Amino acid sequence: EVQLVESGGGLVKPGGSLRLSCAASGFTFSSYTMHWVRQAPGKGLEWVSSISSSVTYIFYADSLKGRFTISRDNAKNSLYLQMNSLRAEDTAVYYCARDGPAIVGPGRWYFDLWGRGTLVTVSS
Amino acid sequence: QSALTQPASVSGSPGQSITISCSGTSSDVGGYNYVSWYQQYPGKAPKLMIYDVTNRPSGVSNRFSGSRSGNTASLTISGLQAEDEADYYCSSYTSSSTLVFGGGTKLTVL
What tens digit of pLDDT does each residue of B16-75 get?
999 999 999 999 999 999 999 999 999 999 999 999 999 999 999 999 999 999 999 999
Question: How many other C-beta atoms lie within 10 A of the C-beta of residue B1?
Answer: 18
Facing A111 at nearest CB: one of B32, B48, B104: B48
Q: Cβ contacts (< 8 Å) between B103 and chain A: which residues? A: 44
User: Residue A102: which pLDDT band, with cuts at 50, 70 and 90?
Assistant: confident
B103 CB-near residues (< 8 Å, 6+ apart): A44, B3, B4, B5, B6, B8
Count Cβ atoms within 10 A of the Cβ of residue A71 and give its class: 0-12 exposed, 13-18 middle, 19 or more buried: middle
Q: Cβ contacts (< 8 Å) between A46 and chain B: which residues? A: 101
| Pairwise CB contact (< 8 Å): A62 & B99 | no
- A64 interfaces chain B, CB cutoff of 8 Å: no
| Pairwise CB contact (< 8 Å): B101 & A47 | yes
Mean pLDDT of B77-97: 97
Nearest CA in chain B to A96: B45
User: Residue B15: which pLDDT band, with cuts at 50, 70 and 90?
Assistant: very high
Q: Cβ contacts (< 8 Å) between A108 and chain B: which residues? A: 34, 51-52
Tens-place pLDDT, residues A50-71: 999 999 999 999 989 799 999 9
What are the angstrom distances between the C-alpha of A78 and each of A16, A46, A48, B58, B95?
Answer: 23, 21, 17, 26, 28
Q: How far is B57 from chain A (nearest CA, A)?
A: 8
- What is the rounded CA–CA span in Å between residue B16 and residue B7? 18
Count Cβ atoms within 10 A of the Cβ of residue A123 and give its class: 0-12 exposed, 13-18 middle, 19 or more buried: exposed
| Pairwise CB contact (< 8 Å): A108 & B104 | no
User: Residue A94: which pLDDT band, with cuts at 50, 70 and 90?
Assistant: very high
Counted across chains A and B, CB pairs separated by less than 8 A come out at: 63
Q: How far is A124 from chain B (nearest CA, A)?
A: 25
Strand order in the sheet with A78-83: A3-7, A18-25, A78-83, A68-73
Q: Cβ contacts (< 8 Å) between A50 and chain B: which residues? A: 99
Q: Cβ contacts (< 8 Å) between A115 and chain B: which residues? A: 45
**b/e code A7-22 from CB counts within 10 Å (16+ = b):** ebbeebeeeeebebbb
- What is the rounded CA–CA span in Å between residue B4 and residue B10? 16
Nearest CA in chain A to B38: A111
- Dmax over CA atoms of chain B, in Å, equals 40
Nearest CA in chain A to B55: A110
| Pairwise CB contact (< 8 Å): B45 & A112 | no
Residue A107 pLDDT more than 90? no
- What is the rounded CA–CA span in Å between residue B36 and residue A69? 25
